[in-house]
Amino acid sequence: MRRSGRILVRGVVQGVGFRPFVFARALEYGIFGHVKNLGSEVEIYAKGDRFEDFLLSIRTGPPLARIDYLSVTPWEGPYPDDFLILPSSPGTMSGMIPPDIATCEECIADIDSRGGRYGSYWATSCVNCGPRYSIISTLPYDRERTVMQQFPMCNECGDEYAEPSCRRHHAQTIACERCGPHLILLDRNGNTVDCQDLIQETARLLDSGALIAIRGIGGFHIACIEESAGELKRRLGRSEQPFAIMVRNSDYVDQIACVSLEERLFLDSATRPIVVLEKRDRTAHTEISNLHTIGCMVPYTGLHHLLFSHLMHPLLVMTSANMPGYPMITDIDRAMASLSREVDFFLSHDRRIINRCDDSVVRDGFIIRLSRGMAPKRTRLPLGKSTILAVGPELNSNITIYKDDVATTSPHIGNVRNPGTFNYLKESIRTMGRLLGAETYDLIAHDAHPQFLSTRYARELADEGGGRLVPVQHHRAHIAAATPDPCIGITIDGVGYGDDGTIWGGEIFAGQIPDYERVGHLEVVPMPGGDLATTYPERMLYGILPEPDVEEILLSRGWNDLELDILKAQLHKNLNVAMTSSTGRVLDAVSALLGLCDEKTYDGEPAMKLESVAVGGRACEWDLSFFRNASTEVLSTRSLMKSALREYNSIRSGDHHHISDVAASFQYNLARGIAGLAVHAAQDCGIPLVVLSGGVAYNRMIRETIIDQVRKAGLELFINAEYPVGDGCISFGQCRYAAASVKSG
Ligand SMILES: [Zn+2]
Ligand SMILES: [Zn+2]
């Protein structure tokens, strides 16, 4: 039986109240010694008769901790005759700071207690809650290495900080009205709005219809009441894109949307993501979302809580103040410079945001955007000794760093096509590298596309610091992110650069990481005008079905003969025509056929509108047509599109079919066909496991049809819900793939 020793704990062990937690256990078990932050780890020297009980009690850590590793080595002493929290010292960097955490119930109660020290103070936090990743520059986690160093503690905060029995014992974010960060309310010209209570005034302005940029935990939102949503759309020039909303509480969300038990748990969890829910009445709240779904979240900071305590309206539109795909705006100067025409007021504060963090988004239990509250995300994963950087895809990007058996994925970065987001990518690599103590990399994984900015940056990093480059094809990264086991992989998404230089996106693979053979895909069809066919899906429709019927439809929709002739000639002479097996493009085309979307104004718009219309539609079984192309089996999407055209024509000729039935039938049969490809491949290869990934898998009907069909064939179907099924899983998959390819190579 041990009675003393040196204990080293690794993982997410700083910024989670680990030291005060250990301190409290030491008192409980009569332990002498000390605890301190050492690098990014926690070191404990402990001695006492109940050493083993003490050890057992700290193994799980406080609620927010994630322990990757705990070791005990003998240490005879000397020991002090009490238990101390010692100042931090530099040491190994292996751990990570936790994500930002929603304000806890106890802190909300403190904010609500009007006479108390924290009464109505918006930045109240404790050892269990508040900002973390967004405010820290490096580890060990101490006030001087966070933005809180600007705010020296007042005596009362200092007393609480030092008091072992207090919830704010060693809470680095402790602050009160007297010593902590302060709010400021500005009009669009930068003039200070003077009033007694800035939050109350902000609520009053919102209630009266104002559009206000509010600086939150990880960046600026634009907020307004539902009645002002139309005005917000007009000012942002986004007529179609749905907004997320913040709702007073999850009970009220119930009145707007259908909330399952699992969804309620997500809504109220410490991560507080935006949860995409099915509206109760799809004709309601159309100014916020013209889809059948609506993205809802509940307040997650003291500021939000106070805002809603004054607000008369039950919900606020709450949208990121940046352009979609661009980095969140974090500082007031940038916000003033870029939003003074869009908003009427700015509610800001003087707590700097070091690391920006957009809201996370979840739908049906699957992560759409991995960000605030969820990232940095850590997964324990033995991939060997190499340190690996994976720079992610181009759209919906994030990065992953692997070191010492743990893969850490950054918060959402965005679309790395513009300089702003590209800089943010580089900054994320530096920040995460610093926090993890990774300065150079043995392997640098990147997309197979030679021209992506991220690919070029990977090359630069390899030139500077060494490290072997590992290109990873987009869809193989999807499969690798889902499982390292032998499998049939279904990847259905928008675009990914394929082995043959065409655009893939409806692919079936067979094998085990890193040897995934492409064994099936959707029919390869032309995209006249390349990217133009993504923006204008009617071009895609004609690319798939260049038929007189479609020409007639286009002419009836406002195309003129000249435009049509140019399109025809383009296809005929193969001028600027890309080829694609993308699932997203096929969905776009049918959305265009049904007249649901003729111009894409936001990512995924045509397919999302198709899905919305399909809800409530009755799906009929259509004939599927498969053919072989060398070693791959191909599902004919032309044939599916022809069926859709036939049905659509029957509606136009006055038959009783409804658009929603055609939309539902198309999705259902496309999904059946994709499942068919996977089942055939599984039978050919004798592999019983099928995995599903790619952004199209967020479409509930498509996903559930595939699951159903694959399971009916006696196969297992797996979706990795720990990571996004969209491109937010790519950097993690690249990382796993790179490790495997080097091992096998
Ligand atoms: Zn708290
Ligand atoms: Zn104070």
pLDDT tens, position by position, 343-391: 999 999 999 998 999 999 999 999 999 999 999 999 989 999 999 999 9
CB-count burial class (<10 Å; 0-12, 13-18, 19+) for 9 = buried
How remote is the CA of residue 491 from the centroid of ligand 1, in Å? 41
How remote is the CA of residue 98 from the centroid of ligand 1, in Å? 15
Ligand found nearest the CA of 129: 1
How many CB atoms are located within 10 Å of the residue 193 CB?
15
How remote is the CA of residue 393 from the centroid of ligand 1, in Å? 36
How remote is the CA of residue 151 from the centroid of ligand 2, in Å? 9
Q: Which two tokens stand for residue 648?
A: 């659509």
The phi and psi torsions of 663 (rounded to 5 degrees) equal: -60, -45
How remote is the CA of residue 348 from the centroid of ligand 2, in Å? 20
Ligand found nearest the CA of 300: 1
Query: Which pLDDT score is estimated for 169?
Result: 87
How remote is the CA of residue 16 from the centroid of ligand 2, in Å? 20
How remote is the CA of residue 739 from the centroid of ligand 2, in Å? 48
Q: Read off the pLDDT band of 300 (50, 70, 90).
A: very high
Ligand found nearest the CA of 156: 2
Nearest CA to 459 out of 389, 535, 562 is that of 389
How wide is the angle at C-alpha 366 spanned by C-alphas 361 and 370, nearest 5°?
45
Nearest CA to 402 out of 378, 375, 434, 421 is that of 378
How remote is the CA of residue 294 from the centroid of ligand 1, in Å? 29
How remote is the CA of residue 111 from the centroid of ligand 1, in Å? 10
The 3-class secondary structure across 432-485, one letter per residue, is: HHHHHCCCCCCEEEEECCCCCHHHHHHHHHHHHHCCEEEEECHHHHHHHHHCCC
Query: Which pLDDT score is estimated for 82?
Result: 92
pLDDT tens, position by position, 436-471: 889 899 999 999 999 999 999 999 999 998 999 999
Q: Which of 2, 3, 6, 19 is catalytic?
A: 19
Helix or strand run (H / E) with residue 645 = helix 637-652
How remote is the CA of residue 637 from the centroid of ligand 2, in Å? 65
How remote is the CA of residue 215 from the centroid of ligand 1, in Å? 20
Exposure of 510 in the CB half-sphere (CA atoms within 13 A) = 18
pLDDT tens, position by position, 47-87: 999 999 999 999 988 888 989 889 999 988 889 999 999 98
Ligand found nearest the CA of 152: 2
pLDDT at 745 over 70: no
pLDDT tens, position by position, 129-155: 999 999 988 878 888 888 999 999 999
Q: Read off the pLDDT band of 255 (50, 70, 90).
A: very high
Query: Which pLDDT score is estimated for 142?
Result: 83
Helix axes 700-712, 659-685, angle to 10 degrees: 40
3-state secondary structure of 676: helix
Where helices occur in 261-328 by DSSP H, the ranges are 261-268, 302-310
pTM: 0.94
Spatial distance between the Cα atoms of 91 and 95, rounded to a whole number of angstroms:
11
Ligand found nearest the CA of 118: 2
pLDDT tens, position by position, 219-235: 999 999 999 999 999 99
The rounded percent of the chain whose pLDDT value lies above 90 is 83
Query: Which pLDDT score is estimated for 449?
Result: 94
Q: Residue 506 is which amino acid?
A: G
Q: Read off the pLDDT band of 592 (50, 70, 90).
A: very high
Spatial distance between the Cα atoms of 492 and 607, rounded to a whole number of angstroms:
13
Spatial distance between the Cα atoms of 274 and 439, rounded to a whole number of angstroms:
34
Q: Is 37 a known active-site residue?
A: yes
Residue 158 to residues 118, 409, 468: CA-CA distances in angstroms? 14, 35, 49
Exposure of 323 in the CB half-sphere (CA atoms within 13 A) = 10
Q: Read off the pLDDT band of 591 (50, 70, 90).
A: very high
Q: Residue 266 is which amino acid?
A: F
Where helices occur in 594-636 by DSSP H, the ranges are 605-614
Helix or strand run (H / E) with residue 257 = strand 257-258
Ligand found nearest the CA of 270: 1
Query: Which pLDDT score is estimated for 414?
Result: 92
Ligand found nearest the CA of 130: 1
pLDDT tens, position by position, 599-641: 999 999 999 999 999 998 999 999 999 999 988 999 999 999 9
How remote is the CA of residue 335 from the centroid of ligand 2, in Å? 29
How remote is the CA of residue 176 from the centroid of ligand 2, in Å? 4
Nearest CA to 407 out of 424, 390, 395, 428 is that of 390
pLDDT at 329 over 80: yes
Query: Which pLDDT score is estimated for 137?
Result: 81
Query: Are the C-beta atoms of residues 715 and 688 closer than 8 Å to each other?
Result: yes
How remote is the CA of residue 103 from the centroid of ligand 1, in Å? 5
Spatial distance between the Cα atoms of 644 and 654, rounded to a whole number of angstroms:
16
How remote is the CA of residue 269 from the centroid of ligand 2, in Å? 28
How remote is the CA of residue 386 from the centroid of ligand 2, in Å? 45
How remote is the CA of residue 143 from the centroid of ligand 2, in Å? 14
DSSP state of 226: G
How remote is the CA of residue 160 from the centroid of ligand 2, in Å? 9
Query: Are the C-beta atoms of residues 405 and 68 closer than 8 Å to each other?
Result: yes
Q: Is 19 a known active-site residue?
A: yes
pLDDT at 657 over 80: no
Mean pLDDT of 231-243: 93
How remote is the CA of residue 180 from the centroid of ligand 2, in Å? 6
Ligand found nearest the CA of 158: 2
Query: Which pLDDT score is estimated for 69?
Result: 87
How many CB atoms are located within 10 Å of the residue 1 CB?
5
Ligand found nearest the CA of 177: 2
Q: Residue 16 is which amino acid?
A: V
Q: Residue 25 is which amino acid?
A: R
Q: Which of 10, 37, 248, 322 is catalytic?
A: 37
Query: Which pLDDT score is estimated for 655?
Result: 66
Ligand found nearest the CA of 302: 1
How remote is the CA of residue 214 from the centroid of ligand 1, in Å? 22
Ligand found nearest the CA of 179: 2
Q: Whats the size of the chain, residue-wise? A: 745
pLDDT at 510 over 80: yes
Tell me which of 94-98, 180-184, 258-262 is least confident. 94-98
Q: How high does pLDDT run on average in the chain?
A: 94
